[in-house]
Chains A and B, each alone.
Chain A
Amino acid sequence: EVHLVESGGGLVQPGGSLRLSCAASGFLFSDYWMSWVRQAPGKGLEWVANIKQDGSEINYVDSVKGRFTISRGNTNNLLYLQMNNLRAEDTAVYYCARDSPRYYSSLEYFQYWGQGTLVTVSS
């Protein structure tokens, strides 16, 4: 059974940093692109970033480019999101999601999601 468990969320001041982690199990982690998707309180879903199976390709939504860094560790089945220079508008629940199994395309629906971790940016 696929499990995705996020951790690392919390309260941080504007301009601060936070690192999220996602522990994956129940599937061959290195066979899949992985994504982060976020949801601001009471709002809809927004794809944030994804990373290729071997880490050789990375994509970000424009609003986080230059501030967020996605990475992965295939030996320990972990996905990360380093978030720097955080803004109030980054406040959201951040979900880890299993992405495409195809090496040359990351365009896919999200079949499996974690339970999410809340990031609150406020002074």
Chain B
Amino acid sequence: EFVLTQSPGTLSLSPGQRATLSCRASQSVRSNSLAWYQQKPGQAPRLLVYGASTRATGIPDRFSGSGSGTDFTLTISRLEPEDFAVYYCQQYDVSPRTFGQGTNVEIK
């Protein structure tokens, strides 16, 4: 199975700080078929980025995705209060599609 490993598990930061989230794949992700989602408690996941670096409709430009091959990054340039949430990466290169275990971005 295609395994995605996210790090760190928890990121403790203050509003205004920069957040850097990592997603490492167990094999190369072809065509940059990697997405990022944000999930807040009691809510469904929200698509942030697809194709490793393309922001979804309506997503603020403080969110940016980068990377290729086996190493991908989601960067939040300046954390807003509403950005504190859990973030998941997902590969859609190979079936079954799989998700990382998540990174919790919490208020320090």
User: Residues on A close to B: CB < 8 A?
Assistant: 44-47, 59, 61-62, 95, 106-111, 113-116
Please name all residues of chain B whose beta carbon is closer than 8 Å to the beta carbon of A111 when the two chains form the complex. 47, 50, 56
CB of B101 closer than 8 Å to a CB of A: yes
Q: Which of A107, A113, A115 contacts B92 (CB 8 A)?
A: A107
Please report which residues of chain B, range 30-52, place their CB below 8 angstroms from some CB of chain A when the two chains form the complex.
Answer: 33, 35, 37, 43-47, 50
Give 13 pairs: A residue, B residue, CB < 8 Å, sorted on A.
Answer: A45-B88, A47-B97, A59-B96, A61-B96, A62-B96, A107-B93, A107-B95, A109-B47, A109-B50, A109-B90, A109-B92, A110-B90, A115-B44
Asked if B35 and A47 make an inter-chain contact with CB atoms under 8 angstroms apart, the answer reads no
| Chain B residues engaging chain A, CB cutoff 8 angstroms | 33, 35, 37, 43-47, 50, 56, 88, 90, 92-102
List 7 other contacts, CB 8 Å, given A44-B101, A59-B95, A109-B47: A47-B97, A47-B98, A95-B44, A106-B95, A108-B92, A110-B37, A115-B43
A114 to B44, CA, bound (A): 7
Main secondary structure on chain B at its contact with chain A? loop
Contact status A113-B45, CB under 8 Å = yes
Instruction: Contact check, B45 vs A45: say whether CB atoms are below 8 A apart.
Output: yes
Residues in chain B near residue A116, CB distance under 8 A: 44
Residue with the greatest number of chain B CB neighbours at <10 A, chosen from A95, A107, A111, A113: A107
Cβ contacts under 8 Å, A47 to chain B: 96-99
**A107-B33, A107-B92 as given contacts; A45 in contact with B99, CB under 8 Å:** yes
A113 to B95, CA, bound (A): 19
**A95 to B35, alpha carbons, bound, how many Å?**
17
Closest to B101 in A: A44
Q: A95-B44, A114-B44, A116-B44 are in contact. Are A109 and B35 (CB under 8 A)?
A: yes
Smallest CB gap from B51: residue in A: A109
